[in-house]
Amino acid sequence: MPRELLKLNNKKGGFGILEIVIVVAIIGIVVFGFGQVGQLAFRLSSVSSAKIESAFIIQEGMEGVRFLRDRGWDQNINLISPDTDYYLTFSGTDYLLQTTTAPLIQGIFTRTIQFSDVYRDAQDTIIGGTSGTLDPSTKKVKVTVSWLDRAAPYSQSAEFYITNLYQN
């Protein structure tokens, strides 16, 4: 009888090694999967953070354009060439619009501002395109912020209208 038990135990010996190899492979796959999920989460967190930051930079651009409008429509807004990229800079006391590329904002972001002429129909409603009557007291403004994240380009933009509110 002891020989039969010994033979039975010998047959099961190889099966334990196979179980260990399978368990180690499963653990390796799980650990690799967690690493990939962590890496993806970090990348998405980085992109999300940049999108939030770009929204603040867009808002600053909008406020800068409104500031220039308030300081004087004729000298700041009316002389702007339509559909040209402008860069908003702050000189310490005043905002300025320039056509030369401004340095990167926080070393990452580029903000461009474009002005477009506005046309109205007979009912004084703003219409798209160039048909209708040109409204010299209203401009359409598009603020765009773009950046690179791991060599992938991203951009966000906002459009709004400004008018010669103070007739200045």
User: Which pLDDT tens digit goes with each residue over 40-56?
Assistant: 887 777 778 889 999 99
DSSP state string for 18-30: HHHHHHHHHHHHH
Residue 112's DSSP bridge partners are: 144
Q: What pLDDT score was predicted for residue 14? A: 59
Q: Which residue has the tokens 């989460």?
A: 41
Q: pLDDT digit string (tens) for 69-104? A: 999 999 999 889 999 999 998 888 888 899 998 889
DSSP 76-101: IITTPPTT--BEEEE-SSSEEEESSP
Classify strands 126-127 and 110-120 as parallel, antiparallel or unpaired: antiparallel
From the list 61, 39, 44, 58, the residue with the least C-alpha distance to 152 is 44
pLDDT at residue 57 in the model: 96
Residue 89 identity: T
Q: Confidence band (pLDDT; 50, 70, 90) for 168? A: confident
User: 163, 65, 72: which is closest to 114 by C-alpha?
Assistant: 65
Share above pLDDT 90 across residues of the chain, in percent, rounded to a whole number: 52
Report the distance separating Cα 168 and Cα 164, nearest Å. Answer: 7
d(C-alpha 117, C-alpha 102), whole Å: 24
Tokens linked to 117: 């002429």
| Residues 143 and 65 sit within 8 Å (Cβ to Cβ) | yes
Task: Give the pLDDT of residue 3.
Answer: 57
Are 111 and 105 in contact by the 8 Å Cβ rule? The answer is: yes
Residues whose CB falls within 8 Å of the CB of residue 27, separated by 6 or more in sequence, listed in order: none
The mean pLDDT value of the chain amounts to 87
Beta bridge partners of 119: 127, 134
